[in-house]
């Protein structure tokens, strides 16, 4: 799976989870205990930034995991080939 595919999958899953969860309609910020400011836009901007950071982190983490798995599989495959070749050499010399 390429990084682009992984990134799209993660963004799609985060968007799906976002749509399936309930969010506050208004986000209020009090300033020095005086009054309440409607911060709906602020809440949405912060939430979007946090989700982008989480998405980027997940792509990085999963890319490393997938790459690590691919490297491990390549090492195992090479080891299996080397063992089979060694067995073939031993059995054919007799």
Domain that holds residue 58: 3-67
> CA 68 to CA 51: how far, in whole Å?
25
Find the Cα–Cα–Cα–Cα dihedral 44, 50, 56, 58, rounded to 10°. -120
Residues 65 and 22: their CA atoms lie apart, in Å, by: 31
The predicted model gives 5-23 an average pLDDT of: 84
pLDDT at 70: 67
Q: Could you give the CA distance from residue 27 to residue 34 in angstroms, rounded to a whole number?
A: 16
User: Does 77 map to a domain?
Assistant: no
Q: How many folded domains does the chain comprise? A: 1
Considering the domain boundaries, does residue 50 fall inside one?
yes
Task: Quote the tokens at residue 37.
Answer: 């400011």
Whether residue 37 is predicted with pLDDT greater than 60 in this model: the reply is no
- Name the pTM for this structure: 0.53
Checking if the pLDDT of 36 tops 80, the result is: no
**What is the mean predicted confidence (pLDDT) over 3-14?**
84
Q: What integer pLDDT is reported at residue 27 of this predicted model?
A: 58
């Amino acid at each position: 799976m390429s990084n682009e595919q992984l990134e799209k999958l993660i963004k799609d899953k985060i968007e799906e989870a976002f749509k399936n969860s309930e969010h506050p309609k208004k986000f209020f910020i009090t300033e020095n205990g005086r009054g309440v400011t409607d911060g709906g836009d602020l809440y949405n901007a912060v939430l979007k930034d946090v989700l982008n950071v989480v998405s980027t982190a997940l792509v990085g983490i999963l890319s490393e995991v997938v790459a690590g798995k691919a490297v491990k599989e390549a090492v195992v495959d090479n080891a299996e080939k080397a063992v089979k070749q060694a067995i073939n050499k031993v059995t054919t010399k007799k």
